[in-house]
Amino acid sequence: MSTNRRFAALRKITSNWLALAGCGIILLALLLALVPGLFATHDPYVLDLPNRLQPPGSEHLLGTDDFGRDVYSRIVYGAQYSILTALLVVGAGMGLGCLVGLIAGYVGGWPDEILMRATDVVLAFPAVLLAMVVVAAIGRGLTNTVITLILISWPEYARVMRAQTLVAVQQEYVLAARAIGVPAWQIMWRHIVPNTLSALIVQATLNLGVAILSLAALGFLGLGAQSPQPEWGLMVSSGRNYFLDAWWYPVFPGLAIAIVTLAFNILGDTLRDILDPLNT
C-alpha cells in the first residue's frame, strides 16, 4: 500500500466513529487477554460459597456466580479463552486455506479439481453443526474444539486464495517471472501471496467474530471449554439456570461475546471499504 493510500485509510478510520469504537474495543479486549492480572480484582478460580449469587456492588463489580466467584474477574480471564483462541483458530485456518487455494489456483488441472471438491464437501455442511458432530466424536475439551474449528474454517480462505491466485497468474509480472525461469514456489511466495493479502485480511477479520461465536456456542453446549475454565459461552450456559434470581450471571458474559463480536465485524467492514480498490 502506497503512502497516499495509507493516509487515506487512516482518514477513513478516524472519520468513522464506529470504526474507532470497534478498534478501541478490540484493543481493550486484547489487552485483557494478554495481561488479565492487571485488570482482574479477584482470583477467577477461588470459591467463596458464603457470597454466592451476590448482585453487582462495590466488592464484586458484576456480581458473583453460583460458587461465589467474581463474574467480572472471570470475564477478564475468559478473554484468553475466547479471543486468543479465536485468533489461533483464524490464523491456522487461514494458513491452511491459503496453502490449499494457492496450490489449486497456480497448479490447476487435477490437483485443482481434487482440492476444490474437498473444499466443497466441507462447505456443504453448516459449520457449527459439523463442529458439534466432530467434537462429540473425538471428545470434549478446548483443544479438540480448536482443532475442529481449524479443520472446518479453511475452505473459505481456500476459495478466496484460489480466486485471487487465478487473477494474479495472468498478470505480467508473474508471466515475466515464469518466462525467465523463476521457480514456482518463489513466484507463489514472492509475487502472488503479497498481492492477495488484502482480501485475506478482510476475510480473517470478519471470521474472528464468527470464531468467537462458534467457541461460545460449543462452550454453551458443553462441548468446548470445561468447568472451571472461565470461557464466556460456558459462563452463559452455567448462568442460564439462575437468570430469574441472578440475571447478572449469564447477562454480562453474553454482553462480552456480543460486544467483541460486533467490534470485529465493524473492523472487518471498515477494512473491506478501505482495501477495496473500487472504494479508494
160-187: pLDDT as tens digits: 898 888 888 888 888 888 888 778 788 8
* Mean of the per-residue pLDDT values of the chain: 85
Confidence (pLDDT) at 107: 85
pLDDT band at 123 (very low <50, low <70, confident <90, very high): confident
Is pLDDT above 70 for 139?
yes
pLDDT band at 10 (very low <50, low <70, confident <90, very high): low
Number of domains, the chain: 1
State which residues form the domain around 233.
3-48+60-279
Phi, psi of 181 (to 5 degrees): 85, 25
pLDDT band at 280 (very low <50, low <70, confident <90, very high): very low
Residues making up the chain, counted from first to last: 280
Is pLDDT above 60 for 140?
yes
H helical segments located in 54-141: 71-79, 85-107, 109-123, 127-138
The answer as to whether 200 is a domain residue is yes
**C-alpha cell at position 245:** 434470581
Is pLDDT above 50 for 87?
yes
The answer as to whether 55 is a domain residue is no
Q: Which comes out higher in pLDDT, residue 276 or 243?
A: 243
The answer as to whether 53 is a domain residue is no
Confidence (pLDDT) at 5: 55
Determine the Cα–Cα distance for residues 90 and 105; give it in Å rounded to an integer: 21
Identify whether the C-beta of residue 184 lies closer than 8 Å to the C-beta of residue 174.
no
Confidence (pLDDT) at 22: 84
Determine the Cα–Cα distance for residues 14 and 163; give it in Å rounded to an integer: 31
Confidence (pLDDT) at 172: 82
Element (H, E) at 146: helix 142-168
Residue type at 74 in one-letter notation = R
Q: Is 158 exposed, middle or buried (0-12, 13-18, 19+ CB in 10 A)?
A: buried
The answer as to whether 180 is a domain residue is yes
The whole-number average pLDDT for the span 46-66 is 89
The answer as to whether 192 is a domain residue is yes
**3-state SS, one letter per residue, for 7-25:** HHHHHHHHCCHHHHHHHHH
**For a pLDDT cut of 90, what percent of the chain falls above it?**
25
The answer as to whether 201 is a domain residue is yes
Residue type at 266 in one-letter notation = I
CATH number, domain with residue 193: 1.10.3720.10
The whole-number average pLDDT for the span 208-224 is 88
Q: Helix, strand or coil for residue 64?
A: strand
Confidence (pLDDT) at 253: 94
Confidence (pLDDT) at 3: 53
